[in-house]
Amino acid sequence: RKLIKQGGGGFTIYLPKKWVDKKKLKAGDMIKISETETALIVGSDIKEKKETTITINEDNEHDIKHLLTHAYRMGVDKIRLKYDDKKYCKEVRKLVSHLLLGFEITKTTDEVMTIENITEPEAERYETILDKAFMVIEETITNTKESLSSGKYDWEEMNELRNLTDKYLIFCRRLLTLEKYEKNIALEWEMLTFMMHIQHTTYYLYKYSHDNKIKALKKYEEEMTNLEITFKEYSEAYKKKSVELIHKINSSREKHLFGMLLTSMEKSKGKETVIYSYIKEILRLIQIGTSPILSMSL
């Protein structure tokens, strides 16, 4: 669109009529203009309600979680879930409670369940919710280290930590989709993906140790302690946009990732090797996960 010169050195442009009509705007209404490095973003406080319908049957019943969370993180405000068997309702109630922050089930019939945005936190809570996700992942790593050392496992608590992390990170993705224009969305989304992988891999390390009744072994303590420290540095690197901390995380690659952990894997066997493999993968995810943070810091 062409710029139109105005008096006093200003310029104007025409807003697309289709967008104005869609937002139900009229002359005199206020709009938001925010600036990024490469663009001006024009927005409105008047938000259209997005709705979608999802049909659940035997062919896709194992994908209920993914269907709901993908609709949620893409900014949908109302989900109509259609089904031919009410057996799915129990699982859906659990998923909404555990993963869809601000959403509630508002209506249930024999064929349809309605899930709506009721009390969603404001976009300004992005940093607060993200900070909670960092803290829960730190707690997940610490609990895993302590269980490997003591041989005592609390499976219920670990499941709760995973659900909390997923809830917070999925919500952050939703905010990026809807409102956080001043953020570099691509880089934030990439970092959130790494955080989810770090948490899930730690969860599966815990699950493997729990399922295989791994007894108290101090041999993993040094590398698990290093994971604790490294993830805390990762969290601080994001909050402070610190190139120095990113360099510190990656400079330990030779000592741990390609040094001590490889040596431990070569000397171990069976289940011990599996545990070292998990630890190595978590460390690798933290280190490559510094890439989007580095880009944000420049």
How far is residue 235 CA from its own chain's centroid? 14
124 within 8 A of 143, measured Cβ to Cβ: no
| CA atoms within 13 Å, Cβ hemisphere of 178 | 25
Return the structure tokens found at 221.
């303590």
Question: 145 and 270: one domain?
Answer: yes
**266 and 155 co-located in one domain:** yes
Lowest average pLDDT, out of 1-15, 108-122, 124-138, 246-260, goes to 1-15
pLDDT tens-digit map of 151-204: 999 999 999 999 999 999 999 999 998 865 567 889 999 999 999 999 999 999
Residues 48-55, mean pLDDT to the nearest whole number: 89
The residues, ordered by sequence, that sit 6+ positions from 95 with a Cβ below 8 Å of its Cβ are 64, 65, 68, 69
The enclosing domain of 109 has a CATH number of 3.30.110.20
- pLDDT at residue 124 above 80? no
pTM of structure: 0.84
pLDDT of residue 182: 63
Q: Using the 3D structure, point to which of 65, 89, 117 is the last residue of a domain.
A: 117
CATH number, domain of 273, equals: 1.20.58
Percent of the chain past pLDDT 90, that is, above it, reads: 74
Choice between 153 and 43, residue whose per-residue pLDDT is larger:
153
Q: What integer is the mean pLDDT of 115-120?
A: 90
CB of 43 closer than 8 Å to CB of 71: no
Does one domain contain both 113 and 127? no
Q: Both 137 and 92 in a single domain?
A: no
In this structure, the answer to whether residues 97 and 235 fall within a common structural domain is: no
Place of tokens 């259209």: 48
Q: How many domains does the chain have?
A: 3
Of the candidates 219, 211, 212, 229, the one whose C-alpha atom is nearest the C-alpha of residue 283 is: 229
Q: Report the 10 Å Cβ neighbour count for 50.
A: 14
**Distance between CA atoms of residues 226 and 222, nearest Å:** 6
Q: What is the reported pLDDT for 216?
A: 76
Residue range(s) defining the domain that contains residue 17: 4-43
Residues 158 and 250 in one domain: yes
pLDDT beyond 80 at 116: yes
Residues 127 and 220 in one domain: yes
Say yes or no: 90 and 169 in one domain: no
Q: How many CB atoms lie within 10 A of CB 264?
A: 19
pLDDT digits (tens, 9 = 90+) for 64-110: 999 999 999 999 999 999 999 999 999 999 999 999 999 999 999 99
Same domain membership, residue 31 and residue 92: no
Do 62 and 208 lie in one domain? The reply is no
Q: What's the longest Cα–Cα distance across the chain?
A: 78
Kindly state whether residues 84 and 166 are assigned to the same domain.
no
Residues 188 and 74 in one domain: no
Digit-coded pLDDT (tens) for 247-281: 999 999 999 999 999 999 999 999 999 999 999 99
